[in-house]
Amino acid sequence: MGEPRLPEGVLLRSLIVLVLVFSSCETGTAVAGGPRSTPVAPPLSLIDQALADLSSEDQSKQDAAVQRLSEQGDPSLLLKLEAIRDNADRSVRLAIKPLMDLLKNRAHLSSADVDQRRSAAADLGSAGKAVAVPWLEAALATESHRWVRYAIEESIALIRLASNDPADKIKAAAKLGELRSQNAVPALKDLVQQGGDSGATEQQKSVASAARAAIEQIDIWASWASAFETIFRGISLSSILLIMSLGLAIVFGLMGVINMAHGELMMVGAYATFVTQECFKAYLPQGAFDYYFLASMPVSFLVAAICGLILEATVIRFLYGRPLETMLATWGVSLVLIQAARVYFGDLTSVVAPSWLSGGAQVMVGVYLPYNRIFIIGLSILCVAGIYFLLFRTGVGVRVRAVTQNRDMSSCLGIPTRKVDAYTFAFGSGLAGLAGCALTLIGNVEPGLGQNYIVDSFMVVVTGGVGKLMGTIVASLGIGGLNKLLEPSFGAVYGKVLILVLVVLFLQRRPSGLFTIKGRHAES
């Protein structure tokens, strides 16, 4: 007998089954009914590997990861970095923070907010990362705002100043000198010092020479910028003095009254502003708070004017023609007002400037003009224009000027001189209150506020010429400007003493002041 043979169909089916089994083993799949194998994980990308290495205990891996992610510079990584930071220990958080700041600043370069773009550019320059130069150059190509462009150019030059290439350092130093960058002075001084060492190379000496030239440019410009800012601060101080002195000049010129409580009327206006602010906080919606200062200006004027009207009716009216008694009485009133404010309000309160008066405008490199001081200057101009219109373009002004020049004749012509005295004193007091309202924008409110300005105000009045509007304007500008010019060299106290000496010497030569007065006081 021969050997038994399998049918051809059975043999073919067996071969197919074997092929399927082997192929399923190679591909990691299982035949029906068999166990399923574990899938093989794909390899990590370089970015994912770097993110994983941030949590590594190996410092070199961590540093390499930070470097790789910095070079990538993708702001979309911030969410992943925040997730890693939230679940990491302190060392990992410290390593991640500079990287996150770098990526945030890159994202902010394209912000719609000008201040945010400028701040981001400045922060990138301070960080000194060379990887940020292409980002800054790309932002510079599309930036249109003047001071954001300045910040970007300054940051690029600051980063390149730390380059290893001497040629790049020389170009960066020259650029920083052109930009008059105060932020670059420390780094430039370091380069000058390196070039002055005994072992310095010719390249280091060339870099030091370029840095020295840049520092000279920056210093010259800084002196001009400082002078400009000093003049501006002097004008803003003069503006407050002017508003306060205008009321004092009108009262002194009309009534011959030396009101030592005029500074306290200024303090009353400042506290009226504070109370208005607190009322807006307590009783009005939050969105209305920014308008409190507009409401506080008429409120401070009216409150101080009412106080002045009461003071004139109860004290000053009975002391006309007796300047020494008037001065002593009003000085006593000033002490009462100071103590009352201290008891009711305490020693120190503050007024928050509204948002539209916060910040400032940069007009030149190193010259920043705060909005609150610009507002004070504008307010003083409006006050001068309003007083000029009142005195020289209205019937009330005619009566005031008539009483100032000749009281007896004015009374004979039917002008109620007593009423003119009262209303004029109230108006002058209201101007002092308005000056106090303006002063809250640049200083705190405290009971002795007016004492700091009453002496300067009297000096303005007597130097300019009693009762003369133009003399008050010129004298306030001169004394306010001298205050700011002398303070850096002599200090606030000795500066005021020196100004007082100069005023006394001036009055010895010209007792009537800058502008000669006319009227009954001149004739008496």
Looking at this protein, which amino acid is placed at residue 188? L
* The predicted structure's pLDDT at residue 10: 42
Task: Kindly tell me if the per-residue pLDDT of 163 is higher than 80.
Answer: yes
- The confidence band for 176, taking pLDDT boundaries of 50, 70 and 90, is very high
Mean pLDDT of 175-180: 94
Do 235 and 477 touch, CB atoms closer than 8 A?
Answer: yes
Q: Does the global pTM surpass 0.85?
A: no
One-letter amino acid at 327 equals M
Q: So what's the pLDDT on residue 516? A: 63
Query: pLDDT per residue over 241-250, tens digit each?
Result: 898 888 888 8
How many other β-carbons are positioned within 10 Å of the β-carbon of residue 319? 16
pLDDT averaged over every residue in the chain: 84
253: pLDDT strictly greater than 80: no
* 331/86: higher pLDDT: 331
The helix or strand, by DSSP H or E, that contains position 266, with its residue range, turns out to be helix 262-283
pLDDT at residue 422 tops 50: yes
Residue 47 has pLDDT above 90, yes or no: no
Positive or negative torsion for Cα 228, 231, 233, 239: negative
**Partner residues linked to 367 by β-bridges:** 364
Q: What angle do CA 504, 510, 511 make, to 5 degrees?
A: 70
30: pLDDT strictly greater than 70: no
Q: Which two tokens stand for residue 146?
A: 């003047």
- At residue 3 the predicted structure's pLDDT band, cuts being 50, 70 and 90, is very low
Which among 431, 171, 496, 413 is positioned nearest to 301, based on CA atoms?
431
pLDDT, tens digit, for every residue of 186-224? 999 999 998 888 778 889 899 999 999 999 999 999 999
For residues 407 and 476, give the distance between their C-alpha atoms in angstroms, rounded to a whole number. 28
Comparing C-alpha atoms, which of 436, 455, 454 is closest to residue 263?
454
CA–CA distance, 186 with 247 (Å, rounded to integer):
49
Instruction: Give the mean pLDDT of 315-327.
Output: 85
DSSP per-residue string spanning 330-356? HHHHHHHHHHHHHHHH-S-B--PPPGG
Question: Residue 276: is its pLDDT beyond 60?
Answer: yes
Q: Give Cα separations from 40 to 33, 43, 237 (angstroms).
A: 21, 9, 77
Amino acid of residue 410: S
**Span 221-238, pLDDT tens digits:** 999 998 898 889 889 888
| pLDDT for the residue 466 | 67
Structure tokens at 64: 């390499």
Residues forming beta bridges with residue 349, ordered by sequence position: 445
In the chain, what percentage of residues exceed pLDDT 70? Answer: 89
Query: Can you give the pLDDT at residue 517?
Result: 54
Q: What is the pLDDT of residues 286-306, one digit of tens each?
A: 888 889 999 999 999 999 999
pLDDT of residue 25: 44
Distance (Å, rounded) from C-alpha 384 to C-alpha 423?
Answer: 18
Cα dihedral 192, 195, 198, 199 in deg (nearest 10): 140
What share of the chain has pLDDT > 90, as a percent?
Answer: 36
For residue 42, the one-letter residue type is: P
Least confident range of 43-57, 442-456, 484-498: 43-57
SS (H, E, C) 443-476: CCECCCCCHHHHHHHHHHHHHHCCCCHHHHHHHH
What average pLDDT does the segment 121-125 reach? 93
Contact (CB, 8 A) for 150 and 183: no
Measure the CA–CA gap between 219 and 156, rounded to whole angstroms. Answer: 21
In the predicted model, is pLDDT for residue 6 greater than 90?
Answer: no
Q: Which residues contact 167 (CB under 8 A, 6 or more apart)?
A: none
Mean pLDDT across the stretch 427-441? Answer: 92
pLDDT value at position 171? 94
Residue 4 has pLDDT above 60, yes or no: no
Quick: pLDDT tens for 377-392.
999 999 999 988 988 8
214-220 contact pairs (CB < 8 A, 24+): 214/173, 214/174, 214/176, 214/177, 214/184, 214/188, 215/177, 215/185, 215/188, 215/189, 216/177, 217/177, 217/178, 217/180, 218/176, 218/177, 218/180, 218/181, 218/182, 218/184, 218/185, 218/188
Q: How is residue 41 annotated by DSSP?
A: P
pLDDT at 397 over 80: yes
Q: Crossing angle, helix 146-161 and helix 132-142, to 10 degrees?
A: 160
Q: Using DSSP, how many helices (H) and how many strands (E) does the chain show?
A: 21, 2
- Across the range 133-140, mean pLDDT stands at 93
pLDDT of 20 above 60: no
| Cα 479 to Cα 483: distance, rounded to the nearest angstrom | 6
Residue 524 has pLDDT above 60, yes or no: no
Compute CA 518 distance to the chain's CA centroid, rounded to the nearest angstrom.
45
Q: How many CB atoms sit inside 10 A of residue 321's CB?
A: 9
Range 338-354 average pLDDT: 88
Confidence of residue 141 (pLDDT cuts 50, 70, 90): very high
For residue 9, name the pLDDT band (cuts at 50, 70, 90).
Answer: very low
